[in-house]
Each structure stands twice: as C-alpha cells, then as structure tokens.
Amino acid sequence: MTPPQCVLDVLDKPGRYKFLQGDEWYWFFEVDATGRIFQLNPHNMKRDGILSKNGWNECAASGRVEPA
C-alpha cells in the first residue's frame, strides 16, 4: 500500500509530524524538502531510516497526522 492520504497531504510541507492510529498507537516522522519521509526515533527525535513509498500497512489508512 502507498502512504495514506493524511501523509500524502503533508509531503509538500517539510517538518516533523506525529502519525496517530486510534487513541493509543502513534509514531513520529519527518518530511524533508524533497518529500522523503523519515521515521524518527521517539527517544531522541533523530532520523531512524527512510520510509518506503509502497510498504505501508493497510491499517495506516485510518490514521491521522498532526504537527509534532
């Protein structure tokens, strides 16, 4: 699956974001100026790898994004 729409909506807005799925599960990511998505380590907020454009889980479709 490709990134959910809520992630696609911020690809042109570089910055750090929090992806929320439900009320208890979340993770952080950063979008750079070229639209690459980096997962962030929640303990130090450093980049922890680039997220694939087609390796998203189907359950991410129900998530939402907010600024971190």
Q: Per residue in 56-65, pLDDT tens? A: 888 888 899 9
Mean pLDDT (the chain) is 92
Q: How far apart are CA 44 and CA 56, in angstroms?
A: 24
Which pTM value belongs to this model?
0.90
Is the pLDDT confidence value at 15 over 90?
Answer: yes
Residue with the bigger pLDDT between 54 and 66: it is 66
Distances (CA, A) of 55 to 2, 11, 27, 60: 7, 16, 16, 11
Q: What pLDDT score was predicted for residue 24?
A: 82
